[in-house]
Amino acid sequence: MHQAVRQGFDDAAFVDRRGRLSEATIWNLVYWDGEAVVWPEAAVLAGVTMGVVSRQLKRLGIPQRREEITLENLKHLQGAAVMNSWTPGVPVTTIGQVVLPEAKPFIELLHKAYIAEPALSI
């Protein structure tokens, strides 16, 4: 992350040996193709928020799929976000040199899915 910040970025995303984007330093990555939520097909630590959002997107009837995301095919997506236990979605508008739309409806969808999860008292 410190190297990314020195280069003018907010955070760092990990790329595996096959060139696939997997996750960021403390975040899961998620993408939008304009119709479906796209989860990265790579080695990732599936976070709790990722599980909640995925489960509720399914319940809401929102299409989802897993796909290998590289810097090359990232250019064809309509949005990206990061999520963790602090938030179900923060827009990502640049990964490396690739600029992505902010995709406000996508971010709103992630938040809607997150708040749809029933709360349990402990």
2-113 CATH pick, 3.30.750.210, 3.30.1330.20, 3.20.10.10, 1.10.10.10: 3.20.10.10
Q: What would the two tokens of residue 80 be? A: 């990206």
Look at the alpha carbons of 98, 72, 1, 49 in this order and tell me if their dihedral is positive or negative. Answer: positive
Beta bridge partners of 13: 24
Separation of alpha carbons 27 and 88, rounded Å: 10
Mean pLDDT of 87-115: 96
B/e letters for 88-118, b = 16+ CB within 10 Å, e = fewer, are bbbbbeebeebebeebeebbebbbbbbeeee
Per-residue pLDDT tens over the stretch 28-81: 999 999 999 999 999 999 999 999 999 999 999 999 999 999 999 999 999 999
Which residue did the predictor score with more confidence, 112 or 118? 112
Question: Which has the closest alpha carbon to 67: 89, 95, 38, 35?
Answer: 38
Per-residue pLDDT at 4 exceeds 80: no
